[in-house]
Structure 1
Amino acid sequence: MGDWPQGYARHVFDKLDSTLSEAARMAPTLSGPAWILAGEQSAARGRRGRAWATPPGNFAGTLIMPRTGSPANAALRSFVASLALREAFVEVTGQTDVFALKWPNDVLLKGGKVAGILLETVGEHLLIGIGVNLRHAPTPEQVEAGAVTPVSVFSVTGVHVQPEAFLDALASAFARFEDQFTTYGFSPIRTAWLSHAARIGEVVTARTMRDETVGVFEDVDEAGNLILKTAKGRVAITAADVYF
């Protein structure tokens, strides 16, 4: 596994209500970035307040970072985290071609959802919550209709990865991509992300609470927006759930 990155603190708990909640409580006391890992979570959450199951053996972590720049700039950390997740998966499994990135914040393993990312801000800090199905995956009945089927690393690859070992790989990868992002901006991150994007060139549906847009996934622009080619022309999607 990669060496633990310099300047990043590490806090490991047997059980928490939520690593995101613990991060929010801890943030005011921190002066630099810190990772929080929990063996179990009793009140985990995903995007839009959805429940996120974290049975023992899965990965539940949050990175706390001082928030710099605009909110739009902070939101681009989801792409940094996605790339770091993919690199960590490749490192721990030894498999390279089975992982893909789903806009805006999921990682797929042979087409099934294996990891999700949730960004929140608390004061002057950015929280990057990450859940990974290392050992177990929710059943199809536990996810909303039309969502990508959940899978686990173990069920698909047969590789058993301990959460703390995965954190080592993830933290090291994130630090490298974060250095690239802060040094060179979003452009190289965007290029790398697109090279691993799921369903690029195919028809997808982007759905918000108010409407949905169907079109060909053409690109992700320099602001991180999903670009769809529709019957009415190219449309930039700022935030949505994407369905295949």
Structure 2
Amino acid sequence: MSARAGWPVGLGRLVLPSVDSTNAEAQRLAPSMTGPVWILAGEQTAGRGRRARPWASPRGNFYATLLMQPREGAEVVALRSFAAALALRDAFVAVSDMPDAFRLKWPNDVLLNGGKVAGILLESAGAGQGVGHLAIGIGVNLIGAPDVAAVEAGAVPPVSLLSETGLRVTPEAFLDVLAPAFADWEARLIAEGFAPLRSAWLAHAARLGEVIRARTGREERVGVFETIDATGALVMRQGDERIALPAADVFF
């Protein structure tokens, strides 16, 4: 357990110089875990994002996973992606004092001045009818971002906190701010349900009320991003039709 000032009580902290990926390390630790723990790595040698896409992992950026044992069903467990996004935004605002610069992109990215500065990857393993453990992986471009040429065509261009703000923040210092922020949103989710998180997320949503493209497999839909529903699904309008998408890649 960490005794760092401001660190949430009962929350473990494991700092590794190098690892293949923090989510992979979480999977290895899960069978022996005795409580929630943050795993922070100085570098990842095989980092990955959504849909197993490679995640560039140079030293100085932030690579961490929160490993936890949620008690709810899979639908509620998945809502922690919104808690993570809100906690990330809180952490960015705390270190930069630039609240207007950060927006949340559905389903799991944080934007800085319109560019992608952070991403979230949830992975879970079942236990009976529930979820045995949950790994919330977070990558943040603190000092460097991938080359735009390496990003999928049409995707939001990557940026770094350093390039956009001039601020240099260490991974450990960022975790000191992120962990308490996530603990606060986790407590609200447990005590009050998804409603307050949904409202807060929508208040900082990118391109809300604007036309977006949502790609699900080989199908692409174009419509107005209206809201997210009580399950976290994206709701878009195409003409007179409202469509709820539980999963998709969104392009602006």
TM-score category of the 2 structures, normalised to the smaller one: over 0.9
Mapping of residues 133-144 of structure 1, within 5 Å: 133-144=141-152
Mapping of residues 1-244 of structure 1, within 5 Å: 3-123=6-126, 124-244=132-252
Query: Contact 1:2/1:169 (CA < 8 Å) preserved in 2?
Result: no
Question: What do residues 121-140 of structure 1 show as CA deviations (whole Å, max 9, x unaligned)?
Answer: 03400110000000000011
- Deviation at 1:205? 0.6
AA aligned to 2:219 is: D
For residues 67 and 126 of structure 1, the distance between their equivalents in structure 2, rounded to whole angstroms, comes to 7
SS in 1 for 2:100: coil
For residues 167 and 124 of structure 2, the distance between their equivalents in structure 1, rounded to whole angstroms, comes to 34
AA aligned to 2:190 is: T
- Deviation at 1:194? 0.3
SS in 1 for 2:119: strand
Residue identity (%): 59
- How many residue pairs get aligned? The number is 244
- Structure 1 residues without counterparts, runs of 5 or longer: none
- Deviation at 1:68? 1.8
For residues 245 and 159 of structure 2, the distance between their equivalents in structure 1, rounded to whole angstroms, comes to 27
> Larger deviation: 163-172 or 114-123?
114-123
- Deviation at 1:232? 4.8
Question: What do residues 213-243 of structure 1 show as CA deviations (whole Å, max 9, x unaligned)?
Answer: 1110000000001000112510001100000
- Runs of 4+ with >6 A deviation: none
Query: Contact 1:31/1:66 (CA < 8 Å) preserved in 2?
Result: no
- Deviation at 1:7? 1.4
Question: What do residues 109-130 of structure 1 show as CA deviations (whole Å, max 9, x unaligned)?
Answer: 0000000000000340011000
Query: Contact 1:98/1:110 (CA < 8 Å) preserved in 2?
Result: yes
Query: Contact 1:2/1:172 (CA < 8 Å) preserved in 2?
Result: no
> Larger deviation: 28-37 or 105-114?
28-37
Cα-Cα RMSD: 1.1
For residues 92 and 29 of structure 1, the distance between their equivalents in structure 2, rounded to whole angstroms, comes to 34
- Structure 2 residues without counterparts, runs of 5 or longer: 127-131
- Deviation at 1:2? 7.2
For residues 155 and 228 of structure 1, the distance between their equivalents in structure 2, rounded to whole angstroms, comes to 33
TM-score in terms of structure 2 length: 0.95
TM-score in terms of structure 1 length: 0.98
For residues 208 and 77 of structure 2, the distance between their equivalents in structure 1, rounded to whole angstroms, comes to 24
